[in-house]
Chains A and B, each alone.
Chain A
Amino acid sequence: MISSDTLTIPSRTTAIDDARRWVSGHLEPAGASTAATWAVEMALTEALANVMAHGYGGDESRSIHLSLQVHADRLELEIVDFGEPFDEAAYTAPDLSEARAGGYGVHLIRELMDEVERTATPDGGTRLRLVKRGWKEDA
């Protein structure tokens, strides 16, 4: 592993910018491509917005825990929350044949990342693990 770090943010939308800056602050000095940095920032933004709006239902007093690992072959970002779990079984992908005013978040995360895995933590939380490969290539 090249580097790793953790960050805890409040469940306020204004903290999303801080989280993006934290990620890019690690990825840019490590030599990540513009496209990879953008993809991770996008996926992080969508994931945090989902936790804040749906998991925590707009409760700004809660916390979200982030963990970033930079490996030679991949970036791993984990997002842990203790809100209402996302119901994978009830999720249906948006119909892209007709433009909508919302509902693209999960679709974008899956398109942007190479792996998306959601698991329960032993202490009752939800861990969303996002993996981006080929992060030094401008693809």
Chain B
Amino acid sequence: MDHEVREQDGVTVLAPRGPIDVSHALELRDLIAGTIERAGSRLVVDLTDVTLIDSSGVGIFVTAHRQADAAGAQFALAHPVGPVGRVFEMTRTNKLLRIYPSVEDAIAALRGA
């Protein structure tokens, strides 16, 4: 899966590109787990360049949210574009996941928590 990882204001930002489906799910899971398993860590997944998220992708994010909670880390999603974010509403996982309109908003929320 094409992606970029950067540090921004003390928060790790993972920016995948293209679709997130079952063919990328394991790689995405490992990329996320590498950060949120450390207590106190903060991870934002920047969805700006993500073109589609299927149910396996939603499952990865739900698991990551719970793993972060258990580890004392923080996890958020940022900036789903166009219809991409509708999948969270259709599965109602938007009520669990922390989803922000921009990366800056997500970073501010995680730094303020």
A residues at B contact (CB < 8 Å): 13-14, 16-17, 20, 34-35, 38-39, 41-42, 45-46, 49, 52-53, 94, 96-97, 99-105, 107-108, 111-112
Contacts and interface: CB of A to CB of B under 8 A. Distances in A.
B54 interface: yes
Contact of A49 (B22, B63, B87): B22
B54 A45 contact: yes
24 contacts: A16-B23, A17-B19, A34-B83, A38-B82, A38-B84, A42-B54, A45-B19, A45-B21, A49-B21, A49-B54, A52-B22, A96-B91, A96-B92, A99-B62, A99-B92, A100-B59, A101-B60, A102-B55, A102-B56, A102-B59, A104-B58, A104-B59, A105-B54, A108-B54
Interface in B49-106: 52, 54-56, 58-60, 62-63, 65, 82-84, 86-87, 90-93, 95-97
A5 B25 CA distance: 29
Given A35-B83, A108-B87, 15 more contacts: A16-B21, A16-B23, A20-B19, A20-B52, A34-B83, A45-B21, A45-B54, A46-B55, A52-B22, A94-B91, A99-B95, A101-B60, A101-B63, A108-B54, A108-B90
Main SS at interface, chain B:
helix
Size category, B interface:
20 to 34
A42 B62 contact: no
Nearest to A43: B54
Interface of B: 19, 21-23, 52, 54-56, 58-60, 62-63, 65, 82-84, 86-87, 90-93, 95-97
A96 B52 CA distance: 21
